[in-house]
Amino acid sequence: MNNKNKRLVIPLLGAPGVKLTDTTLKENLSDPFVQFKTLYKIVERFNPDGIFPFMDLTVEAEALGLKIEFPENDNPSVREHPVKNRDALNEIKRKWKGVSERMITFIKVCEMMAKEFNILKGGYVIGPFTLAGELVGVNDLGINVIEDPDFVEEVVDFTTSVIFEYAKALLETGIDMIAVLEPTAVILSPQQFREFSMKHFKHLSSELKKPVIYHICGNTKHLIEDMGKSGAWGLSLDSAVDLKWASEIVPSDVRLIGNLDPVKVFLQGNPEMIYEKTKELLEKMRDVDNFILSSGCDIPLGTPLENIDAFMQAAKSFK
């Protein structure tokens, strides 16, 4: 997938593209044709080496029957976390009807991406531990990791099965890879991480038989060594992690993807600063063959398009 003579550039674009189609975030997250039109305009303007759909961490939770807060121009969020015991978990399991709700929206987006784009194409799924956090509530989940790990394991076993079903359907559209978004795993110790996230990621990665990316936001330095052993095709790392340092820990056949700060650089910076920051990162990673240039996480909605232009210009001009 990687041309040795070319540094791949795959920023995590989506939300800022609403300016190109004069649409709202909600319209893009609800209507596959609106979202694809925005993605098409993004690819046309910025010419990245790969594209993912819009990032949305509520898709699977909504399909499991959870109530969603859905503003016009902000990320949707889960309003309730009903799974406080095994009875509630069994009720959610009983009601689960397979790939449904807005999962279908994103499958349709991926179908159009696979058909129309000749660059790398990926899909997103939420991570098993993070989806467990949406069901149980992150605070309660963290307490149960210590007080009732068997219950947490039951929840994560179930969320893994839901995610597998959805990821499989996304890959069947013809896209190239899946990124597993597991931000809540950052709260875990290395031992807890291996038990409640990485084990399940490994299962997904081995069963899906396509490249799978592990994305965890925030400072994941305490998890990097294990992430490198997870079977991931690539690790998408946030700006808190020194990628050069990570390259000395992570096996060379695992891609390191990142990691300019989406807020302090992309959202709050200006084109000149972004151009320089991009060049600095590329220079720092010059000798790391398994590096893919990207943002540290999803680029925020209000990011000026000129800032993304500057990032791409710096990347394309770097030799």
Q: Mean of the pLDDT values across residues 241-254?
A: 97
List, in order, residues 6 or more apart from 106 with CB less than 8 Å away.
32, 53, 56, 59, 123, 124, 170
List, in order, residues 6 or more apart from 74 with CB less than 8 Å away.
25, 301
Tens-place pLDDT, residues 130-180? 999 999 999 999 999 999 999 999 999 999 999 999 999 999 999 999 999
Residue 8 DSSP SS3: coil
Tens-place pLDDT, residues 100-118? 999 999 999 999 999 999 9
Q: Is residue 213 a part of any domain in this protein? A: yes
Tens-place pLDDT, residues 41-100? 999 999 999 999 999 999 999 999 999 999 999 999 999 999 999 999 999 999 999 999
Q: Is the peptide bond before 259 cis (omega within 30 degrees of 0)?
A: yes
Q: Is residue 1 a part of any domain in this protein? A: no
Tens-place pLDDT, residues 279-307? 999 999 999 999 999 999 999 999 999 99
- Token representation of residue 301: 């909605």
Q: Is residue 234 a part of any domain in this protein? A: yes
Tell me the CATH number at 254: 3.20.20.210
Q: Is residue 281 a part of any domain in this protein? A: yes
- The phi, psi pair for 272, rounded to 5°, reads -65, -45
Shortest CA distance to 217 belongs to which of 201, 199, 233, 236? Answer: 236
Tens-place pLDDT, residues 195-235? 999 999 999 999 999 999 999 999 999 999 999 999 999 99
The total of structural domains in the chain comes to 1
Question: 106 and 170 in contact (C-beta within 8 Å)?
Answer: yes
Q: Is residue 5 a part of any domain in this protein? A: no
Please give the helix or strand (H or E) that residue 235 lies within, else none: strand 234-237
- Token representation of residue 92: 């959610």
Q: Is residue 6 a part of any domain in this protein? A: no
Is residue 3's pLDDT more than 50? no
Confidence category of residue 319, pLDDT binned at 50, 70, 90: confident
Q: What does DSSP say about strands 77-78 and 68-69: parallel, antiparallel, or unpaired?
A: antiparallel
Q: Is the peptide bond before 144 cis (omega within 30 degrees of 0)?
A: no
- Token representation of residue 93: 């399991």
Domain that holds residue 247: 15-317
- Residue 1: the pLDDT is 43
Q: How many CB atoms lie within 10 A of CB 70?
A: 16
Tens-place pLDDT, residues 12-45? 999 999 999 999 999 999 999 999 999 999 999 9
Q: Is residue 44 a part of any domain in this protein? A: yes
Strand partners, 237: 216
The pTM of this model reads: 0.96
The whole-angstrom separation of Cα 193 and Cα 219 is: 14
The whole-angstrom separation of Cα 218 and Cα 7 is: 24
- Residue 6: the pLDDT is 78
Confidence category of residue 5, pLDDT binned at 50, 70, 90: low
